[in-house]
Amino acid sequence: MQLIEDTLEGELAERLNRPLTVGGRTVANRLWLAPLAGLSHVAFREVLDGYGGCGLTFTEMCGAKSLPTESPLVSPVFRWRAAELPRLVCQVAGATPEQMIPAARRVQECGFFGFDINMGCSVSGIIKKNAGAALLRDPDAALRVVEGVRRAISIPLFVKFRTGWTPDIGPAVALARRFEDAGVDCLVFHPRVAPDKRTRPPVREHIRAVVDAVSIPVFGNGDVVSPEDCLDMLRTTGCAGVSVGRTAIARPWLFAQWTTGQTPPATCFRDYALNLADALSRHFDPVRALKRYRMFTIYFAANFTFGHALQSRFLKAKTMDEIRSVAQNHIPPDLQLVRRPNFSLYNI
């Protein structure tokens, strides 16, 4: 059994550690952090960098309309550390070239690695603005956005998108080809229909269909929880790499673990809970820091057999010092873990 596990880990690390060229720029590896609203913020990314192993990180979703004049000093989403810019992609949601072009120019001026157009978010507030996954309903409108942004910037251009609004993969394949023709450098594909809030498994065969349709890199995304999941996605879909979201929030050391074989210490969960509290306190005011920490607790608690009880303790905390007290006193090294984070707990 150990030999099988060693072989799996070796193959996974070998596949993930191959450098990749995206839009003329080199990325060190093929395991990336997916953009997550309210979660992939500057504080989390700082903690993540402490573990290492992540090839590219993505901001949480920024709004195209506000971004051109938004100040990183006060913005809750358009905020970064200078040291991370060479590996940081800014994700932006907008409905038209007129909205997206000024935002793209601002992102390039600030020195980001790349610009990512969100065509995957199906939250009602985004859909009502004809942004996010709403663009998949009108391929011509989606293409106009891509073409406008491509003409405006020279940094790598990414598009994250879903299957569409029906289970038919045909429109997504056709759109992927049009994106490549328009100058997109990399696609991140989540193989679920837009309205699906993770109630059904992603259709990995659809990733293969998109991969086979284009020559640019395609990254797979969706329900990658274990190294076995990651390797299976790489093997079965032919994708260039893997983008990990919620599992990365639950266990941020997975990037180093899967790419280098590092084993986290017995105190890793408590240390993580404390380090994130400190990072949030550095980057945000006390009210926003506490709000962001509460969002995180859903994913953190999903690691444990009795995660609901632990999350309840965190949610009762009224200050960041009380948060730290919960972490110090209620996350012993032997707290009972589940092998896979409990998706039913954080299926939001």
pLDDT tens readout for residues 165-208:
999 999 999 999 999 999 999 999 999 998 766 677 889 999 99
Residues in the chain, total: 348
Q: Which CATH number fits domain 2-260: 3.30.1330.10, 3.20.20.70, 3.30.300.30, 3.40.605.10?
A: 3.20.20.70
pLDDT of 1 = 40
The neighbouring-strand residues paired with 169 are none
Supply the DSSP string of 278-306, one letter for each residue.
Answer: HHHHHHS-HHHHHHHHHHHHHHHHTTBTT
Alpha-carbon distance of 68 to 64, in angstroms, equals 7
- Binding site annotation covers 246? yes
Active site residue 121: yes
- Enumerate the domain spans of the chain: 2-260, 268-330
Return the HEC string of 249-262.
Answer: HHCCCHHHHHHHCC
The two beta strands, 241-244 and 218-221, are parallel
C-alpha closest to that of 250 among 232, 268, 277, 227 = 268
Identify which has the larger pLDDT, 89 or 124: 89
Q: Which conformational region is residue 202 in: left (phi greater than 0), alpha (psi within -120 to 50 degrees), or beta?
A: beta
- pLDDT band of 339, cuts 50, 70, 90: confident
For residue 348, pLDDT over 50 is answered with no
pLDDT of residue 64: 97
- pLDDT confidence of residue 345: 57
pLDDT of 347 higher than 50: no
Mean pLDDT of 36-50: 97
* Overall pTM surpassing 0.85 (yes/no): yes
Q: Is 144 annotated as a binding residue?
A: no
Radius of gyration of the chain from its Cα atoms, rounded to whole angstroms:
19
291 assigned binding-site residue = no
Q: Select from 316, 342, 335 the least CA-distant residue to 271.
A: 335
Q: Is 58 helix (H, G, I), strand (E, B) or coil?
A: strand
190 annotated as belonging to a binding site for a ligand = yes
State the pairing for strand pair 186-193/88-93.
unpaired
Q: Which tokens go with 334?
A: 């032997």
> For the ranges 50-54, 138-142, 305-309, which has the lowest average pLDDT?
305-309
Cβ of 171: how many Cβ atoms within 10 Å? 15
Closest CA to 139 of 188, 181, 98: 181
Residue 276 pLDDT > 50: yes
- At residue 4, the pLDDT reads 44
What tokens were used for 337? Answer: 């873990």
Would the pLDDT of 40 be above 70?
yes
13 versus 9: the higher-pLDDT residue is 13
Q: Give the percent of the chain with pLDDT over 70.
A: 95
CB 186, CB 22: distance < 8 Å: yes
Tell me which of 54, 62, 90, 121 is the catalytic residue: 121
Residues 161, 91: Cα–Cα separation, whole Å? 12
Are 212 and 184 spatial neighbours (Cβ–Cβ below 8 Å)? no
pLDDT at 22: 98
Could you report the per-residue pLDDT of 57-96, keeping only the tens digit for each? Answer: 999 999 999 999 999 999 999 999 999 999 999 999 999 9
β pairing state of 114-119 and 31-33: unpaired
Pairing of strands 20-22, 25-27: antiparallel
Other C-beta atoms lying within 10 Å of the C-beta of residue 253: 21
The pLDDT assigned to 194 comes to: 87
Mean per-residue pLDDT over the chain, rounded: 94
Q: Please state the rounded mean pLDDT for residues 133-146.
A: 97
CB 35 within 8 A of CB 93: no
Find where tokens 């309309």 sit: 65
Instruction: Give pLDDT tens digits for 307-328.
Output: 999 999 999 999 999 999 999 9
Query: 233-263, pLDDT tens digit by residue?
Result: 999 999 999 999 999 999 999 999 999 999 9
